[in-house]
Amino acid sequence: MARKLNEIQQKELSFIKDWCLTIIHFLLEKYGLDVVLKMFEEVVVKSYNEQNLRGSRYLIKDINEFAKELPENDLNELNLLLNKTFGKDLLKDDDKIAKKIIQILKKGKITTEAQFRLVLGRVEQIYQNPDSLEEVERLNKLLSEFETARNKL
């Protein structure tokens, strides 16, 4: 049964569907038929048809993360397509996240679950890079402090 969304939610859902399908179709054209990509495509359409905004939000995050792992030339080509189609690309979200991470580091503390997930995602993204060791240590300290405080509640 489809859930009734307000106009803003409906626009977000439509954007997510179009964004995800653009990435999936780019990948299909670039790399050929892939069972996983076809399954993603079906899930995106199903989520849209069922008006599942929450599920669609998870999908866009997963698809974006997958796309960010493309070889640099393909990622650049995809970003050009996304910029042309939507006026933004995968890297603009990284800029927003980086600004939020900087704010959290300046504050010296994680205060919400959303911030926790953001910081955890950043650590997962950079922990293997030896040049990021200091940042990983600072972020892990914040994560640990938040976990400790949360467990005391």
Going from N- to C-terminal start, the domains of the chain cover: 7-88, 91-152
| pLDDT at residue number 48 | 95
| pLDDT at residue number 144 | 94
Using pLDDT thresholds of 50, 70 and 90, give the confidence band for residue 3: low
Which value, in Å, is the radius of gyration of the alpha carbons in the chain? 18
What tokens were used for 76? 């650049």
Distance CA 39, CA 61 (A): 16
What pTM does this model have? 0.67
Q: Is the pLDDT of residue 1 over 60?
A: no
Q: Write the single-letter amino acid at 121.
A: G
**What average pLDDT does the segment 98-103 reach?**
89
Beta carbons within 10 angstroms of residue 94's beta carbon: 14
**What average pLDDT does the segment 103-128 reach?**
88
